[in-house]
Structure 1
Amino acid sequence: MKKKETKFKKIQVNKKIYPNFLKMIDERNFDLFISSFRDIHPENFTHCGFIYTHKQNEKLSINEDAAFVLDNKIWFARIEEIVKIIINGEDAGFIKGRIYLQKPDLIGLHEKIKECTEDDLFLTEQTKWFFCKELRKKIMVYNLNDIIQNNIDTKPGSFYTRSEFNVEFQKFITPVEEWATECICQKLFDNSLGYLQCDRCQRWIHYDCSGLPKDVLENLNDHNFNCKICVGEMKVEKIKIKSNENENQQQVVKQSKNAAKKENQIIEEKIKIEMQERKPLKNKSVLNQSMNYNKQFINEKNSKKPIQKIKSN
Protein backbone atom coordinates (compact mmCIF):
# COMPACT_ATOMS: atom_id res chain seq x y z
CA MET A 1 0.00 0.00 0.00
CA LYS A 2 1.43 3.24 -1.11
CA LYS A 3 1.26 6.18 1.16
CA LYS A 4 0.32 9.48 -0.29
CA GLU A 5 3.11 11.94 0.28
CA THR A 6 2.06 15.21 1.75
CA LYS A 7 3.84 18.18 0.23
CA PHE A 8 4.37 21.18 2.42
CA LYS A 9 4.23 24.50 0.63
CA LYS A 10 7.10 26.86 1.24
CA ILE A 11 5.95 29.87 3.18
CA GLN A 12 6.97 33.08 1.40
CA VAL A 13 7.83 36.02 3.64
CA ASN A 14 6.36 39.33 2.59
CA LYS A 15 9.41 41.55 2.32
CA LYS A 16 7.31 44.65 2.74
CA ILE A 17 6.12 43.40 6.10
CA TYR A 18 9.33 41.74 7.22
CA PRO A 19 12.15 43.68 5.58
CA ASN A 20 15.81 42.78 5.94
CA PHE A 21 16.70 45.20 8.71
CA LEU A 22 20.34 44.14 8.92
CA LYS A 23 20.82 44.78 5.21
CA MET A 24 19.33 48.25 5.61
CA ILE A 25 21.76 48.94 8.42
CA ASP A 26 24.72 47.66 6.40
CA GLU A 27 23.71 49.94 3.51
CA ARG A 28 23.11 52.82 5.94
CA ASN A 29 19.59 53.20 4.66
CA PHE A 30 18.62 54.51 8.06
CA ASP A 31 15.55 56.51 7.05
CA LEU A 32 13.84 53.41 5.70
CA PHE A 33 15.17 51.22 8.51
CA ILE A 34 14.00 53.52 11.32
CA SER A 35 10.53 54.09 9.87
CA SER A 36 10.02 50.39 9.04
CA PHE A 37 11.27 49.13 12.39
CA ARG A 38 9.08 51.61 14.26
CA ASP A 39 5.99 50.48 12.36
CA ILE A 40 6.66 46.78 12.81
CA HIS A 41 8.18 46.70 16.31
CA PRO A 42 6.87 49.75 18.14
CA GLU A 43 7.43 48.00 21.46
CA ASN A 44 11.18 47.89 20.74
CA PHE A 45 11.40 51.50 19.57
CA THR A 46 11.98 54.48 21.89
CA HIS A 47 12.43 58.20 21.24
CA CYS A 48 15.00 59.75 23.59
CA GLY A 49 15.38 63.33 24.75
CA PHE A 50 19.14 63.03 25.24
CA ILE A 51 22.09 60.66 25.12
CA TYR A 52 25.23 60.52 27.24
CA THR A 53 28.46 61.39 25.45
CA HIS A 54 31.90 59.87 26.02
CA LYS A 55 32.60 62.68 28.47
CA GLN A 56 31.59 61.85 32.02
CA ASN A 57 28.07 63.05 32.95
CA GLU A 58 27.78 65.07 29.72
CA LYS A 59 24.44 64.91 27.92
CA LEU A 60 23.71 65.63 24.27
CA SER A 61 20.13 66.84 23.80
CA ILE A 62 17.81 67.75 20.94
CA ASN A 63 18.75 71.06 19.20
CA GLU A 64 22.32 70.84 20.50
CA ASP A 65 25.33 70.36 18.25
CA ALA A 66 27.83 67.54 17.90
CA ALA A 67 30.72 66.21 15.83
CA PHE A 68 30.66 62.70 14.36
CA VAL A 69 33.36 60.60 12.69
CA LEU A 70 32.36 58.61 9.61
CA ASP A 71 34.62 57.29 6.83
CA ASN A 72 37.61 59.22 8.21
CA LYS A 73 35.67 62.46 7.89
CA ILE A 74 34.36 64.73 10.63
CA TRP A 75 30.70 65.66 10.30
CA PHE A 76 29.04 68.47 12.23
CA ALA A 77 25.31 68.34 12.90
CA ARG A 78 22.50 69.89 14.94
CA ILE A 79 20.61 67.12 16.69
CA GLU A 80 16.99 66.58 15.59
CA GLU A 81 16.19 63.07 16.75
CA ILE A 82 17.62 60.40 19.07
CA VAL A 83 16.18 56.86 19.04
CA LYS A 84 16.92 53.58 20.78
CA ILE A 85 15.85 50.23 19.36
CA ILE A 86 16.19 46.63 20.49
CA ILE A 87 17.18 44.35 17.62
CA ASN A 88 18.20 40.72 18.02
CA GLY A 89 18.14 41.27 21.77
CA GLU A 90 20.67 44.10 21.69
CA ASP A 91 20.27 47.85 22.18
CA ALA A 92 21.24 50.13 19.33
CA GLY A 93 21.19 53.91 19.30
CA PHE A 94 20.79 56.25 16.33
CA ILE A 95 21.11 60.03 16.06
CA LYS A 96 19.65 62.21 13.31
CA GLY A 97 20.98 65.70 12.70
CA ARG A 98 20.92 68.63 10.29
CA ILE A 99 24.27 68.82 8.55
CA TYR A 100 26.64 71.79 8.82
CA LEU A 101 28.83 72.71 5.84
CA GLN A 102 32.30 74.22 6.22
CA LYS A 103 34.52 76.65 4.35
CA PRO A 104 35.97 74.06 1.88
CA ASP A 105 32.42 73.02 0.90
CA LEU A 106 31.48 76.57 -0.14
CA ILE A 107 34.77 78.14 -1.21
CA GLY A 108 33.71 78.69 -4.83
CA LEU A 109 30.40 80.41 -4.13
CA HIS A 110 31.66 83.85 -3.11
CA GLU A 111 34.96 85.71 -2.83
CA LYS A 112 34.33 86.49 0.85
CA ILE A 113 34.27 82.77 1.76
CA LYS A 114 38.07 82.86 1.59
CA GLU A 115 38.03 85.11 4.67
CA CYS A 116 36.09 82.52 6.69
CA THR A 117 37.91 80.27 9.16
CA GLU A 118 37.93 76.62 10.16
CA ASP A 119 35.54 77.57 12.95
CA ASP A 120 32.82 78.73 10.52
CA LEU A 121 29.83 76.39 10.21
CA PHE A 122 26.80 76.80 7.91
CA LEU A 123 23.65 74.91 8.88
CA THR A 124 21.75 73.28 5.99
CA GLU A 125 18.37 71.62 5.47
CA GLN A 126 20.03 68.27 4.73
CA THR A 127 19.77 65.54 7.38
CA LYS A 128 21.78 62.42 8.14
CA TRP A 129 21.58 59.50 10.57
CA PHE A 130 24.55 58.34 12.62
CA PHE A 131 25.23 55.41 14.93
CA CYS A 132 25.65 56.54 18.51
CA LYS A 133 29.11 54.97 18.45
CA GLU A 134 30.06 57.46 15.70
CA LEU A 135 29.50 60.38 18.06
CA ARG A 136 32.83 62.06 18.71
CA LYS A 137 31.95 64.96 20.98
CA LYS A 138 29.45 67.64 21.83
CA ILE A 139 30.31 71.08 20.41
CA MET A 140 29.24 74.68 20.97
CA VAL A 141 28.09 76.70 17.95
CA TYR A 142 27.51 80.42 18.58
CA ASN A 143 25.70 82.92 16.42
CA LEU A 144 28.41 85.37 15.38
CA ASN A 145 26.12 88.39 15.71
CA ASP A 146 25.42 87.42 19.33
CA ILE A 147 29.16 87.23 20.00
CA ILE A 148 29.69 90.73 18.61
CA GLN A 149 26.61 92.49 19.98
CA ASN A 150 26.66 90.90 23.44
CA ASN A 151 30.45 90.65 23.78
CA ILE A 152 30.24 86.91 24.53
CA ASP A 153 33.40 85.12 25.63
CA THR A 154 33.37 81.87 23.66
CA LYS A 155 34.77 78.63 25.01
CA PRO A 156 37.98 77.19 23.53
CA GLY A 157 37.26 74.79 20.68
CA SER A 158 33.86 76.30 19.95
CA PHE A 159 32.46 77.22 16.53
CA TYR A 160 30.26 80.00 15.17
CA THR A 161 27.85 80.54 12.31
CA ARG A 162 27.28 83.60 10.11
CA SER A 163 24.38 82.20 8.11
CA GLU A 164 22.45 79.08 7.20
CA PHE A 165 22.87 77.67 3.69
CA ASN A 166 20.15 76.25 1.45
CA VAL A 167 21.70 73.39 -0.54
CA GLU A 168 18.78 73.02 -2.93
CA PHE A 169 18.89 76.64 -4.08
CA GLN A 170 22.62 77.10 -3.42
CA LYS A 171 22.16 80.34 -1.50
CA PHE A 172 22.96 81.76 1.92
CA ILE A 173 19.91 82.62 4.02
CA THR A 174 21.71 85.74 5.26
CA PRO A 175 23.34 87.39 2.20
CA VAL A 176 27.13 87.60 2.28
CA GLU A 177 26.91 91.38 1.93
CA GLU A 178 25.22 91.52 5.36
CA TRP A 179 27.85 89.48 7.21
CA ALA A 180 29.63 91.24 10.04
CA THR A 181 32.78 93.16 9.10
CA GLU A 182 33.66 94.90 12.35
CA CYS A 183 37.19 96.13 11.65
CA ILE A 184 38.10 99.14 9.51
CA CYS A 185 39.81 96.73 7.08
CA GLN A 186 36.30 95.46 6.19
CA LYS A 187 37.37 91.80 6.37
CA LEU A 188 34.93 89.29 7.81
CA PHE A 189 34.90 89.11 11.59
CA ASP A 190 37.32 86.43 12.83
CA ASN A 191 36.65 85.52 16.43
CA SER A 192 40.05 83.84 16.78
CA LEU A 193 41.97 87.10 16.28
CA GLY A 194 42.81 89.75 18.86
CA TYR A 195 40.56 92.81 18.85
CA LEU A 196 40.43 96.23 20.50
CA GLN A 197 37.20 98.11 21.06
CA CYS A 198 37.19 101.77 20.09
CA ASP A 199 36.16 103.94 23.06
CA ARG A 200 34.31 106.33 20.76
CA CYS A 201 32.39 104.20 18.24
CA GLN A 202 32.56 100.81 20.04
CA ARG A 203 33.79 99.18 16.81
CA TRP A 204 36.09 96.14 17.18
CA ILE A 205 39.50 96.60 15.54
CA HIS A 206 42.19 94.01 14.77
CA TYR A 207 45.42 94.43 16.72
CA ASP A 208 47.26 94.68 13.40
CA CYS A 209 44.87 97.39 12.17
CA SER A 210 44.97 99.47 15.36
CA GLY A 211 48.25 101.20 14.51
CA LEU A 212 49.40 100.82 18.13
CA PRO A 213 52.93 99.68 19.01
CA LYS A 214 53.45 96.41 20.84
CA ASP A 215 54.27 98.02 24.21
CA VAL A 216 50.96 99.92 24.15
CA LEU A 217 49.03 96.78 23.18
CA GLU A 218 50.53 95.01 26.19
CA ASN A 219 49.18 97.72 28.54
CA LEU A 220 45.79 98.45 27.04
CA ASN A 221 44.13 99.15 30.37
CA ASP A 222 46.31 102.23 30.79
CA HIS A 223 45.34 103.81 27.48
CA ASN A 224 42.23 105.05 25.76
CA PHE A 225 41.88 103.71 22.23
CA ASN A 226 40.29 105.42 19.24
CA CYS A 227 40.28 103.78 15.82
CA LYS A 228 41.67 105.52 12.74
CA ILE A 229 38.20 106.41 11.49
CA CYS A 230 37.31 108.13 14.76
CA VAL A 231 40.69 109.88 14.89
CA GLY A 232 40.02 111.30 11.42
CA GLU A 233 36.48 112.32 12.36
CA MET A 234 37.72 114.01 15.54
CA LYS A 235 40.28 115.98 13.51
CA VAL A 236 37.54 117.13 11.16
CA GLU A 237 35.33 118.05 14.13
CA LYS A 238 38.21 119.98 15.69
CA ILE A 239 38.75 121.89 12.44
CA LYS A 240 35.02 122.64 12.24
CA ILE A 241 34.98 123.86 15.84
CA LYS A 242 38.00 126.08 15.19
CA SER A 243 36.40 127.37 12.01
CA ASN A 244 33.16 128.10 13.86
CA GLU A 245 35.10 129.89 16.60
CA ASN A 246 36.89 132.03 13.99
CA GLU A 247 33.60 132.71 12.26
CA ASN A 248 32.02 133.70 15.56
CA GLN A 249 34.96 135.99 16.33
CA GLN A 250 34.67 137.58 12.90
CA GLN A 251 30.96 137.99 13.45
CA VAL A 252 31.60 139.67 16.81
CA VAL A 253 34.18 142.00 15.23
CA LYS A 254 31.79 142.76 12.40
CA GLN A 255 28.97 143.47 14.81
CA SER A 256 31.29 145.66 16.86
CA LYS A 257 32.32 147.62 13.76
CA ASN A 258 28.71 147.97 12.69
CA ALA A 259 27.78 149.19 16.17
CA ALA A 260 30.65 151.71 16.13
CA LYS A 261 29.69 152.83 12.65
CA LYS A 262 26.09 153.25 13.69
CA GLU A 263 27.15 155.17 16.77
CA ASN A 264 29.31 157.46 14.62
CA GLN A 265 26.39 158.01 12.28
CA ILE A 266 24.20 158.96 15.22
CA ILE A 267 26.84 161.40 16.49
CA GLU A 268 27.20 162.93 13.02
CA GLU A 269 23.44 163.29 12.76
CA LYS A 270 23.31 165.02 16.14
CA ILE A 271 26.09 167.41 15.11
CA LYS A 272 24.33 168.13 11.86
CA ILE A 273 21.07 168.84 13.64
CA GLU A 274 22.80 171.10 16.14
CA MET A 275 24.48 173.02 13.35
CA GLN A 276 21.18 173.44 11.58
CA GLU A 277 19.60 174.70 14.80
CA ARG A 278 22.45 177.14 15.49
CA LYS A 279 22.54 178.74 12.01
CA PRO A 280 19.25 180.74 12.24
CA LEU A 281 20.15 182.02 15.73
CA LYS A 282 23.42 183.41 14.39
CA ASN A 283 21.68 185.24 11.50
CA LYS A 284 19.10 186.79 13.83
CA SER A 285 21.84 188.13 16.09
CA VAL A 286 23.64 189.77 13.17
CA LEU A 287 20.38 191.31 11.97
CA ASN A 288 19.64 192.71 15.41
CA GLN A 289 23.10 194.18 15.62
CA SER A 290 22.63 195.79 12.22
CA MET A 291 19.26 197.18 13.16
CA ASN A 292 20.58 198.58 16.42
CA TYR A 293 23.44 200.23 14.59
CA ASN A 294 21.11 201.83 12.04
CA LYS A 295 18.78 202.97 14.80
CA GLN A 296 21.63 204.51 16.72
CA PHE A 297 22.89 206.23 13.60
CA ILE A 298 19.50 207.75 12.93
CA ASN A 299 19.14 208.93 16.49
CA GLU A 300 22.51 210.52 16.42
CA LYS A 301 21.67 212.25 13.18
CA ASN A 302 18.41 213.51 14.47
CA SER A 303 19.93 214.81 17.70
CA LYS A 304 22.39 217.11 15.95
CA LYS A 305 21.34 220.80 15.78
CA PRO A 306 21.44 222.51 12.38
CA ILE A 307 24.37 224.86 11.84
CA GLN A 308 23.33 228.45 11.33
CA LYS A 309 24.71 230.07 8.28
CA ILE A 310 26.46 233.48 8.87
CA LYS A 311 25.46 236.07 6.53
CA SER A 312 28.14 238.28 5.24
CA ASN A 313 27.71 241.94 5.18
Structure 2
Amino acid sequence: MNVVNWTNNNNESQSKSIRQSSETLPVIKKRISKRLQKHIQDTSFKELYKQQKLAEIVQKAMERNECQYEEYDEIKICGEIIKLNDKVIIKNEDSNVEDYIGAINKICSVVELSTLKLICLCEVQWFMRKNEIICHKPRARSWIGNQEIFSTNTNDYVLAQTIVQKCTVVDCEEYFNMENCDSTTYYNRLEWDVESKKFTNMNTIKLYCLCQQPWNPELNYIQCDKCQKWYHFECVGLKEGSYENKEYACGYCN
Protein backbone atom coordinates (compact mmCIF):
# COMPACT_ATOMS: atom_id res chain seq x y z
CA MET A 1 0.00 0.00 0.00
CA ASN A 2 1.60 3.29 -1.12
CA VAL A 3 1.02 6.16 1.31
CA VAL A 4 2.17 8.70 -1.29
CA ASN A 5 -0.98 8.04 -3.33
CA TRP A 6 -3.15 9.28 -0.48
CA THR A 7 -2.04 12.91 -0.92
CA ASN A 8 -3.84 15.90 -2.41
CA ASN A 9 -2.82 17.36 -5.74
CA ASN A 10 -0.93 20.31 -4.28
CA ASN A 11 2.81 19.92 -3.88
CA GLU A 12 2.89 21.00 -0.24
CA SER A 13 0.56 18.22 0.90
CA GLN A 14 2.33 15.67 -1.24
CA SER A 15 5.73 16.65 0.12
CA LYS A 16 4.43 16.41 3.69
CA SER A 17 3.01 12.95 3.05
CA ILE A 18 6.28 11.73 1.59
CA ARG A 19 8.19 12.92 4.66
CA GLN A 20 5.73 11.12 6.96
CA SER A 21 5.57 7.89 4.98
CA SER A 22 8.78 6.41 6.37
CA GLU A 23 7.45 6.81 9.92
CA THR A 24 3.89 5.69 9.33
CA LEU A 25 4.65 2.75 7.03
CA PRO A 26 5.63 0.32 9.83
CA VAL A 27 2.40 1.22 11.67
CA ILE A 28 0.34 0.66 8.53
CA LYS A 29 2.06 -2.67 7.88
CA LYS A 30 1.33 -3.71 11.45
CA ARG A 31 -2.35 -2.83 11.04
CA ILE A 32 -2.53 -4.77 7.76
CA SER A 33 -0.85 -7.76 9.42
CA LYS A 34 -3.38 -7.63 12.27
CA ARG A 35 -6.27 -7.53 9.79
CA LEU A 36 -4.85 -10.53 7.94
CA GLN A 37 -4.40 -12.43 11.20
CA LYS A 38 -7.97 -11.60 12.21
CA HIS A 39 -9.22 -12.74 8.80
CA ILE A 40 -7.47 -16.10 9.20
CA GLN A 41 -8.86 -16.52 12.70
CA ASP A 42 -12.40 -15.61 11.64
CA THR A 43 -12.34 -17.88 8.59
CA SER A 44 -13.46 -21.44 9.27
CA PHE A 45 -11.30 -24.45 8.51
CA LYS A 46 -13.94 -25.51 6.00
CA GLU A 47 -13.60 -22.25 4.05
CA LEU A 48 -9.82 -22.34 4.16
CA TYR A 49 -9.89 -25.93 2.94
CA LYS A 50 -12.25 -25.06 0.06
CA GLN A 51 -9.95 -22.22 -0.94
CA GLN A 52 -6.91 -24.52 -0.65
CA LYS A 53 -5.25 -22.07 1.75
CA LEU A 54 -3.30 -24.83 3.41
CA ALA A 55 -0.57 -22.68 4.96
CA GLU A 56 -3.29 -20.65 6.69
CA ILE A 57 -4.81 -23.86 8.07
CA VAL A 58 -1.47 -24.79 9.64
CA GLN A 59 -0.97 -21.28 11.00
CA LYS A 60 -4.46 -21.22 12.49
CA ALA A 61 -4.00 -24.67 14.03
CA MET A 62 -0.72 -23.71 15.68
CA GLU A 63 -2.23 -20.57 17.18
CA ARG A 64 -5.60 -21.82 18.46
CA ASN A 65 -6.41 -24.30 21.23
CA GLU A 66 -9.52 -25.72 19.56
CA CYS A 67 -7.26 -27.61 17.13
CA GLN A 68 -4.84 -30.46 17.61
CA TYR A 69 -1.62 -29.97 15.65
CA GLU A 70 1.01 -32.72 15.32
CA GLU A 71 4.25 -33.12 13.37
CA TYR A 72 5.75 -36.42 12.21
CA ASP A 73 8.97 -37.88 10.83
CA GLU A 74 7.17 -40.05 8.28
CA ILE A 75 3.78 -40.83 6.78
CA LYS A 76 2.37 -43.79 4.89
CA ILE A 77 0.75 -42.95 1.56
CA CYS A 78 -0.60 -45.62 -0.80
CA GLY A 79 1.41 -48.24 1.04
CA GLU A 80 4.68 -46.30 0.72
CA ILE A 81 6.54 -44.72 3.64
CA ILE A 82 7.37 -41.07 2.96
CA LYS A 83 9.98 -39.49 5.24
CA LEU A 84 11.35 -36.01 5.80
CA ASN A 85 13.73 -34.89 3.01
CA ASP A 86 12.33 -37.49 0.60
CA LYS A 87 11.79 -36.31 -2.97
CA VAL A 88 8.26 -36.94 -4.20
CA ILE A 89 6.03 -36.59 -7.24
CA ILE A 90 2.89 -34.58 -6.50
CA LYS A 91 -0.25 -34.89 -8.58
CA ASN A 92 -1.18 -31.97 -10.81
CA GLU A 93 -4.95 -31.69 -11.17
CA ASP A 94 -4.46 -30.45 -14.73
CA SER A 95 -4.07 -33.66 -16.73
CA ASN A 96 -2.41 -31.75 -19.58
CA VAL A 97 0.46 -30.59 -17.38
CA GLU A 98 3.26 -32.68 -15.85
CA ASP A 99 3.06 -33.57 -12.18
CA TYR A 100 5.03 -31.51 -9.68
CA ILE A 101 8.22 -32.51 -7.88
CA GLY A 102 9.15 -31.45 -4.36
CA ALA A 103 11.25 -32.28 -1.32
CA ILE A 104 9.44 -33.00 1.97
CA ASN A 105 10.32 -30.37 4.60
CA LYS A 106 7.54 -31.06 7.10
CA ILE A 107 4.80 -33.65 7.71
CA CYS A 108 1.91 -32.61 9.93
CA SER A 109 -1.75 -33.15 10.72
CA VAL A 110 -4.50 -30.84 11.91
CA VAL A 111 -7.63 -31.99 13.74
CA GLU A 112 -10.45 -29.54 14.33
CA LEU A 113 -11.76 -30.73 17.69
CA SER A 114 -15.36 -29.59 17.11
CA THR A 115 -15.78 -31.72 13.96
CA LEU A 116 -12.82 -34.15 14.37
CA LYS A 117 -11.95 -33.51 10.73
CA LEU A 118 -8.39 -34.69 10.05
CA ILE A 119 -6.23 -32.93 7.49
CA CYS A 120 -2.80 -34.39 6.67
CA LEU A 121 -0.37 -31.95 5.12
CA CYS A 122 3.19 -31.85 3.84
CA GLU A 123 5.34 -28.76 3.40
CA VAL A 124 7.41 -29.18 0.25
CA GLN A 125 10.27 -27.30 -1.34
CA TRP A 126 9.54 -27.13 -5.04
CA PHE A 127 11.66 -28.15 -8.00
CA MET A 128 11.02 -26.61 -11.41
CA ARG A 129 10.74 -28.70 -14.58
CA LYS A 130 12.08 -27.99 -18.06
CA ASN A 131 8.81 -26.60 -19.44
CA GLU A 132 8.55 -24.18 -16.53
CA ILE A 133 12.04 -22.85 -17.25
CA ILE A 134 12.11 -22.55 -21.05
CA CYS A 135 9.06 -20.29 -21.11
CA HIS A 136 11.38 -17.73 -19.46
CA LYS A 137 14.67 -18.98 -20.97
CA PRO A 138 13.79 -20.31 -24.47
CA ARG A 139 17.46 -20.61 -25.47
CA ALA A 140 17.96 -23.19 -22.73
CA ARG A 141 15.67 -25.66 -24.50
CA SER A 142 18.55 -27.40 -26.28
CA TRP A 143 20.70 -28.10 -23.22
CA ILE A 144 18.08 -28.80 -20.54
CA GLY A 145 17.32 -32.51 -20.41
CA ASN A 146 13.81 -33.90 -20.07
CA GLN A 147 14.72 -35.39 -16.69
CA GLU A 148 16.48 -32.28 -15.42
CA ILE A 149 14.88 -30.34 -12.58
CA PHE A 150 15.90 -27.15 -10.82
CA SER A 151 15.91 -26.51 -7.08
CA THR A 152 14.19 -23.42 -5.68
CA ASN A 153 13.70 -21.69 -2.34
CA THR A 154 9.93 -21.75 -2.76
CA ASN A 155 7.98 -23.72 -0.13
CA ASP A 156 4.29 -24.57 0.04
CA TYR A 157 1.87 -26.94 1.73
CA VAL A 158 0.14 -29.74 -0.15
CA LEU A 159 -2.42 -32.29 0.93
CA ALA A 160 -0.70 -35.59 1.73
CA GLN A 161 -3.10 -37.50 -0.53
CA THR A 162 -1.82 -35.58 -3.58
CA ILE A 163 1.59 -37.26 -3.27
CA VAL A 164 1.83 -39.94 -5.97
CA GLN A 165 5.11 -41.62 -5.05
CA LYS A 166 8.73 -41.12 -4.12
CA CYS A 167 11.27 -40.25 -6.79
CA THR A 168 15.06 -40.09 -7.03
CA VAL A 169 17.05 -36.89 -7.54
CA VAL A 170 20.80 -37.18 -8.22
CA ASP A 171 23.48 -34.85 -9.52
CA CYS A 172 24.26 -34.58 -13.23
CA GLU A 173 27.37 -36.77 -13.23
CA GLU A 174 25.69 -39.53 -11.25
CA TYR A 175 22.75 -39.49 -13.65
CA PHE A 176 25.11 -39.79 -16.63
CA ASN A 177 26.85 -42.83 -15.09
CA MET A 178 23.63 -44.66 -14.18
CA GLU A 179 23.14 -47.77 -16.29
CA ASN A 180 19.42 -48.04 -15.60
CA CYS A 181 17.12 -45.20 -14.66
CA ASP A 182 13.37 -44.87 -15.07
CA SER A 183 10.99 -41.94 -15.46
CA THR A 184 11.07 -41.28 -11.70
CA THR A 185 14.81 -40.54 -11.70
CA TYR A 186 15.79 -36.90 -12.13
CA TYR A 187 18.99 -34.89 -11.93
CA ASN A 188 19.64 -31.43 -10.50
CA ARG A 189 22.63 -29.13 -10.95
CA LEU A 190 21.20 -25.61 -10.98
CA GLU A 191 19.10 -23.40 -8.74
CA TRP A 192 16.25 -21.26 -10.08
CA ASP A 193 15.10 -17.99 -8.54
CA VAL A 194 11.32 -17.94 -8.95
CA GLU A 195 10.98 -14.19 -8.39
CA SER A 196 13.77 -12.98 -10.68
CA LYS A 197 13.22 -15.87 -13.13
CA LYS A 198 16.88 -16.68 -13.58
CA PHE A 199 19.52 -19.21 -12.55
CA THR A 200 21.43 -18.25 -9.42
CA ASN A 201 24.57 -20.38 -9.98
CA MET A 202 24.96 -20.52 -13.75
CA ASN A 203 28.61 -19.45 -13.41
CA THR A 204 29.42 -22.86 -11.88
CA ILE A 205 28.45 -24.74 -15.05
CA LYS A 206 31.10 -25.65 -17.61
CA LEU A 207 30.28 -24.97 -21.28
CA TYR A 208 30.96 -27.44 -24.11
CA CYS A 209 31.09 -27.71 -27.89
CA LEU A 210 31.27 -24.96 -30.51
CA CYS A 211 27.88 -23.71 -29.36
CA GLN A 212 29.19 -23.14 -25.82
CA GLN A 213 26.25 -24.67 -24.00
CA PRO A 214 26.07 -26.65 -20.74
CA TRP A 215 26.44 -30.39 -21.00
CA ASN A 216 23.21 -32.32 -21.57
CA PRO A 217 23.72 -35.91 -20.33
CA GLU A 218 20.72 -37.04 -22.39
CA LEU A 219 22.48 -36.17 -25.69
CA ASN A 220 25.37 -37.92 -27.44
CA TYR A 221 28.74 -36.22 -27.81
CA ILE A 222 31.97 -37.02 -29.60
CA GLN A 223 35.38 -36.36 -28.04
CA CYS A 224 38.38 -35.09 -29.98
CA ASP A 225 41.24 -37.56 -29.49
CA LYS A 226 43.78 -34.74 -29.51
CA CYS A 227 42.40 -31.88 -27.40
CA GLN A 228 39.94 -34.10 -25.47
CA LYS A 229 37.11 -31.61 -25.91
CA TRP A 230 33.53 -32.75 -26.45
CA TYR A 231 31.22 -31.73 -29.30
CA HIS A 232 27.64 -32.31 -30.41
CA PHE A 233 27.58 -34.44 -33.56
CA GLU A 234 25.31 -31.91 -35.26
CA CYS A 235 27.54 -28.96 -34.41
CA VAL A 236 30.59 -30.53 -36.08
CA GLY A 237 28.64 -31.91 -39.05
CA LEU A 238 28.81 -35.61 -38.17
CA LYS A 239 26.23 -38.35 -38.13
CA GLU A 240 25.94 -40.34 -34.93
CA GLY A 241 27.69 -43.69 -35.22
CA SER A 242 29.88 -42.59 -38.13
CA TYR A 243 32.98 -42.41 -35.92
CA GLU A 244 32.50 -45.48 -33.76
CA ASN A 245 35.87 -47.16 -33.11
CA LYS A 246 37.61 -44.45 -35.13
CA GLU A 247 39.84 -41.60 -34.08
CA TYR A 248 38.33 -38.15 -34.35
CA ALA A 249 40.08 -34.80 -34.57
CA CYS A 250 38.06 -31.62 -34.27
CA GLY A 251 38.40 -28.69 -36.68
CA TYR A 252 40.90 -26.95 -34.41
CA CYS A 253 43.20 -29.99 -34.18
CA ASN A 254 42.83 -31.34 -37.73
> TM-score, with normalisation over the residues of structure 2?
0.65
Matched, 1:132 2:153: no
The 5-angstrom pairing of residues 1-313 of structure 1 reads 19-41=43-65, 44-54=68-78, 56=79, 58-72=80-94, 73=97, 74-87=99-112, 88-115=115-142, 116-145=144-173, 147=175, 151-153=177-179, 155-157=181-183, 158-175=185-202, 178-182=204-208, 186-194=212-220, 214=241, 217=244, 223=245, 226-229=247-250, 233=253
User: Structure 1 residues 16 and 136, CA, compared in 2 at 3 Å: closer, same or farther?
Assistant: closer
Amino-acid identity (%): 15
Quote how far apart the aligned CAs of 1:18 are. 6.5
Which structure's residues are more often strand, by fraction?
A: 2
User: Structure 1 residues 226 and 163, CA, compared in 2 at 3 Å: closer, same or farther?
Assistant: farther
User: Structure 1 residues 214 and 91, CA, compared in 2 at 3 Å: closer, same or farther?
Assistant: same
User: Structure 1 residues 17 and 98, CA, compared in 2 at 3 Å: closer, same or farther?
Assistant: closer
Q: In 2, Cα distance between the equivalents of 1:167 and 1:111?
A: 16
Quote how far apart the aligned CAs of 1:131 are. 0.9
Q: Does the 8 Å CA contact 1:45/1:83 hold for their aligned counterparts?
A: yes
Unaligned ranges ≥5, structure 1: 1-13, 218-222, 236-313
Structure 1 counterpart SS, 2:131: helix
> TM-score, with normalisation over the residues of structure 1?
0.54
Quote how far apart the aligned CAs of 1:173 are. 1.0
Q: How large is the Cα RMSD of the aligned pairs?
A: 3.6
Structure 2 counterpart SS, 1:104: helix
Which structure's residues are more often helix, by fraction?
A: 1
Q: Does the 8 Å CA contact 2:226/2:249 hold for their aligned counterparts?
A: no
Quote how far apart the aligned CAs of 1:71 are. 2.8
Q: Does the 8 Å CA contact 1:196/1:210 hold for their aligned counterparts?
A: no
AA at the equivalent of 1:130 = V
Quote how far apart the aligned CAs of 1:198 are. 6.8
Match of 2:34 in 1: none
> Size of the alignment, in residue pairs?
209
Quote how far apart the aligned CAs of 1:227 are. 4.6
Q: Does the 8 Å CA contact 1:65/1:78 hold for their aligned counterparts?
A: yes
Show CA shifts across 1:133-165 (max 9, x none).
1112222222225546xx455622122223111
Larger radius of gyration: 1
Show CA shifts across 1:36-88 (max 9, x none).
1122248722112222343x4x3322222222123314222222111122343
Q: Does the 8 Å CA contact 2:61/2:67 hold for their aligned counterparts?
A: no
